[in-house]
């Protein structure tokens, strides 16, 4: 049996960051991962994630993403690893939809640098895109791309430098807390600690069966497509992009390598009952809508997927995160339900989790992410 100050379950985006921040504060921390670190079985893989400030989902995310930008920069410096590529973000959508007005509200509330792109300038600025006449076009110059696997490895590297312990390929079978001490049993061992941090992604509900918080896991597919010409290449100035259309919400990344341009639909996904048995071979039920999107708005993309990857969204009823202490056990801290837009926040979430473990509170503005909020309780 091993004994530690804290145990972190799950070492994906959030768990790796929590491990790094806890160990960086001098705690003896154990990280448990049911697969190998850097695996592609959960929600922290697929090469790229978007990072952006103008948060249409809720303006209260903006201070958190601002802090994350600073922490990503710190992590880059500490590990001498390139993690963020500031390509800019082009956003296309109707003026009365959810996304464009939401971005405008967030930008106005926090004084963010968001540009309106005139219709006359769209083709010259974004030659690979063909928005419809009723779409507004916004540009966020400091948005860009996170190298997702490199980000996870950088956090783990920092954690190991600070003497964190990592156990791979050992699934958690059960845990219990007395409120003062926790005991975590895996398939091969028993570990004890003063605190427990649960960052289990799609497996959170399995570990919190008595928590009475409803979360739904969805299977998501991202695909890579061929292109004609060079206008979608990152070195030609192509940004990351989002389209809020009448057929769904789509996003994508410029061409970074020989795989092509990466595109996916964000607002759908098949419900998953068992995250360990997800089918990774087939493509999405939304394949037809993605192909329609490409045909309509990306004229020089070939709408036949050359590669695809499968990950999972763990959705809360209101699509906002849960970051909180367990309602019954104050020495158990939970980060869950990142609903397909959480990875960019990993370093600030890790810092917040370390705050909650070491002091029981945080100065970061997370009241809207508490597990006691009405949408979660009602859900």
- Find the angle CA(56)-CA(58)-CA(61) to the nearest 5 degrees: 105
CA dist., res. 181 & res. 226, Å (int): 54
Active-site residue, 82 included:
no
Per the DSSP assignment, residues forming a β-bridge with 30 are: 7, 165
Active site (annotated) includes residue 311: yes
- Length of the chain counted residue by residue: 379
**Cα distance between residue 292 and residue 298, in whole Å:** 10
Element (H, E) at 219: strand 216-227
DSSP 255: B
Please tell me which residue in 53, 155, 219, 266 is annotated as part of the active site: 266
Cα gap 112→54, rounded to integer Å: 7
293: helix, strand or coil: helix
Catalytic-role residue among 41, 45, 219, 326: 45
Q: Is 266 a catalytic residue?
A: yes
238 flagged as catalytic:
no
49 assigned to active site: yes
How far is residue 273 from each of residues 74, 131, 277, 361, 378, measured CA to CA in Å? 38, 37, 8, 34, 21
Biggest alpha carbon–alpha carbon distance for the chain: 67
In the set 219, 262, 265, 341, the catalytic residue is 262
The whole-number pLDDT of residue 375 equals 87
Tell me the three state secondary structure of residue 209. Answer: coil
268 is catalytic: no
Q: Which two tokens stand for residue 346?
A: 């990993």
Q: Catalytic residue among 4, 21, 41, 49, which? A: 49
Q: Which residues pair with 243 in a beta bridge?
A: 92, 250
User: What single string gives the DSSP state of each residue in 2-19?
Assistant: EEEEEEEE--SHHHHHHH
Active-site residue, from 4, 48, 186, 265: 48
SS3 at position 141: coil
What is the C-alpha separation between 45 and 90, in angstroms, rounded? 23
Mean pLDDT for each 10-residue chunk of the chain (379 residues)? 95 98 98 97 96 95 98 98 98 95 96 94 94 97 98 98 97 96 96 98 93 88 96 97 97 97 94 92 84 97 95 96 95 97 98 98 97 80
Geometric angle at alpha carbon 70, from 69 and 75, rounded to 5°: 95
How far out from the chain centre does Cα 309 lie? 15
| 3-class SS of residue 34 | coil
Say how far apart CA 156 and CA 165 lie, in whole Å.
10
Q: Is 204 annotated in the active site?
A: no
pLDDT given for residue 378 in this prediction? 57
Burial 175-206 (b: 16+ CB within 10 A, else e): bebeeeebbbebeeeebebbbbbbbbbbbbbe
> Quick one: pLDDT at residue 379?
55
Phi first, then psi, for residue 191 (nearest 5°) are -130, 145
Residue 353 near residue 197 (C-beta atoms within 8 A): yes
278-317 in b/e form (b: 16+ CB < 10 A) is beeeeebebbebbbbbbeebbebbebebeebbbbbbbbbb
pTM of the model: 0.97
Strand intervals (E) in 246-290: 248-253, 261-265, 270-272
* Catalytic residue of the set 104, 195, 311, 325: 311
Which DSSP state fits 118? P
């Amino acid at each position: 049996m091993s004994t530690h100050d804290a145990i972190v379950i799950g070492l994906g985006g959030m768990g790796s960051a929590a491990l790094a921040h806890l160990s960086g504060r001098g705690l003896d921390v154990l990280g448990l991962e049911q697969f190998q670190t850097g695996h592609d079985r959960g929600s922290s893989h697929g090469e790229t994630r978007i990072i952006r400030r103008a948060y249409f989902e809720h303006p209260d995310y903006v201070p958190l993403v601002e802090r994350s930008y600073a922490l990503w920069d710190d992590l880059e410096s500490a590990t001498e690893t390139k993690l963020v590529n500031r390509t800019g973000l082009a956003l296309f959508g109707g003026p009365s939809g959810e996304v464009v007005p939401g971005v405008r509200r967030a930008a106005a509330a926090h004084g963010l640098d968001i540009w309106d792109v005139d219709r006359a300038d769209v083709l010259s600025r974004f030659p690979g895109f063909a928005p419809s006449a009723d779409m507004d076009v916004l540009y966020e110059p400091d948005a860009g791309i996170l190298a997702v696997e490199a980000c996870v490895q950088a956090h783990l590297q920092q954690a190991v430098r600070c003497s964190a312990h990592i156990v791979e390929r050992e699934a958690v079978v059960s845990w219990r807390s007395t409120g003062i001490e926790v005991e975590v049993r895996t398939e091969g061992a028993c570990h004890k600690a003063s605190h427990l941090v649960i960052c289990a992604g799609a497996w959170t509900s399995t570990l919190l069966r008595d928590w009475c918080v409803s979360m739904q896991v969805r299977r998501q597919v991202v695909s890579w497509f061929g292109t004609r010409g060079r206008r979608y290449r990152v070195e030609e100035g192509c940004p990351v992009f989002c389209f809020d259309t009448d057929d769904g919400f789509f996003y994508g990344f410029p061409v970074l390598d020989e795989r092509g341009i990466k595109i996916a639909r964000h607002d759908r996904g098949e419900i998953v009952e068992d995250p360990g048995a997800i089918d990774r071979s087939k493509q999405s039920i939304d394949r037809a809508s993605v192909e329609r999107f490409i045909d309509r708005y990306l004229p020089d993309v070939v709408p036949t997927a050359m590669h695809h990857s499968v990950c999972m969204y763990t959705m809360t009823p209101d699509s906002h995160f849960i970051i909180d202490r367990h309602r019954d056990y104050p020495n158990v801290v939970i980060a869950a339900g990142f609903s397909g837009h959480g990875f960019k926040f990993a370093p600030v979430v890790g810092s917040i989790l370390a705050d909650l473990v070491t002091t029981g509170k945080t100065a970061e503005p997370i009241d809207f992410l508490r597990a006691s909020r009405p949408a979660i309780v009602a859900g």
